[in-house]
Amino acid sequence: MRGLQAAGGAPLTGDTEDGAVPAAPLPGRRIAVLATIVPIVYALDLVTKTLVLRTLEGREPLVVIPDLLQFRVIFNSGAAFSLGTGMTIIFTCVAAAVVVAILRTARNLRSLPWAVTLSLLLGGALGNLTDRIFRWPSGFGPDRPSPFQGHVVDFIETFPGHFPVWNVADSAIVCGGVLAVLLAWRGYQIDGTRDTGAAKTTKDTKDTKDTKDTKENSDG
């Protein structure tokens, strides 16, 4: 617990009366985390997609572990894990909005765990957004009639025939989403504070004491 509080940018003692642990600014570490993880995720996504397109496009799937893992190139016009095909322009707009929202949120970022979380989400969103803008059949040339409707390259297929095909960007987005849920559940805030629930406990205790005192005064 103490390690998580320290990692979140919060002091180990001194909870405030409202139940939130005061934030400690982490501008340097925040920028370092974003500047490291986002390019790594984006580069891994771009490089792996480029490699599989050069080696596997139009060919039979490359079986790595029979009935468990294989590489097969597909062009996904939908969302992550091939969901929502046929709504490409909508998902392009959503992806762009997510990128803008994360960048705006990062200005108030003071939590190291949240910096990791937002970096995974941002790197994954940028990876798939690049496909939607520049991949086939999108683009900006005269032979590309459907701007902002590019198809995302998916190639990792686990449990073939039973699970959607995905890519590195999808996995980063999912991991970031899971971390976000866990951090919110534990009360860790983006600004580095932690909602410990002490406020409600203190208030309930105070209300109980006031009620008891009022009753005793009435009886007296």
Q: How far is CA 64 from CA 18, 51, 59, 61, 207, in A?
A: 54, 16, 15, 9, 63
Residue type for position 178 = V
Catalytic, 170? Answer yes
Cis bond leading into 160, ω under 30°? Answer: no
Instruction: Using DSSP, state whether 217 is helix, strand or coil.
Output: helix
Concatenate the DSSP letters of all residues of 36-79 into one string. HHHHHHHHHHHHHHHHHHHHHTTS--EEEETTTEEEEEEEE-SS
The residues with which 194 forms a beta bridge, in sequence order, are: 188
Run of H or E residues at 62? strand 62-65
Closest CA to 23 of 7, 35, 36, 34: 7
Known active-site residue 143: no
- Give dist(CA 183, CA 217) in Å, integer: 45
Q: Which of 18, 67, 170, 207 does the annotation list as catalytic? A: 170
Of the residues 15, 131, 154, 195, which is catalytic?
Answer: 154
Active site residues: 154, 170
